[in-house]
Amino acid sequence: MSGHPYNVLFLCTGNSARSIMAEALLNYLGKDRFRGYSAGSHAKGEVHPLTIDVLSRNHIPTRELRSKSWDEFATPDAPAFDFVFTVCDRAAQEVCPLWPGQPVTAHWGLEDPAAVTGTPEQQQQAFNRAFKELDARLRIFIQPFICPAPD
């Protein structure tokens, strides 16, 4: 393992649900080996209340979460990223800033739970589904770094 935590940036358009969940989950699951960040191309400026709800119900810290523009991470003093993941199809199709250090990039398309209309129960189910999908992907992603294969 490298001498520093791996920095991972999760991008979405609004940075209010999926990318925020990914940031919080990675910081929780990745312990001291990963540092998660999130941003949006057109950040809404606030975290969706159901994002906070699903994270809190799963005992994931939410205190420091905030919606932010990806411009915040395109400055010379921003963290250098090892990995950059887009989690929504719109952000994956946009022209992203150039991230220093040539990070590994990938697209993890997830349905937007914030776009679900319907009953409060249907909306909650959408957030639960997004949380579970991100949780599963992140556990697979970090597994080789947390529990490396024996020599």
Residues with a known catalytic role: 12, 88, 96
Q: Any residues with CB less than 8 A from the CB of 13 and at least 6 apart, and which?
A: 40, 41, 42, 88, 90, 91, 94
Q: Are 105 and 83 in contact (CB under 8 A)?
A: yes
Backbone angles phi, psi at 51, to 5 degrees: -65, -50
DSSP 3-state of 96: coil
DSSP 3-state of 86: strand
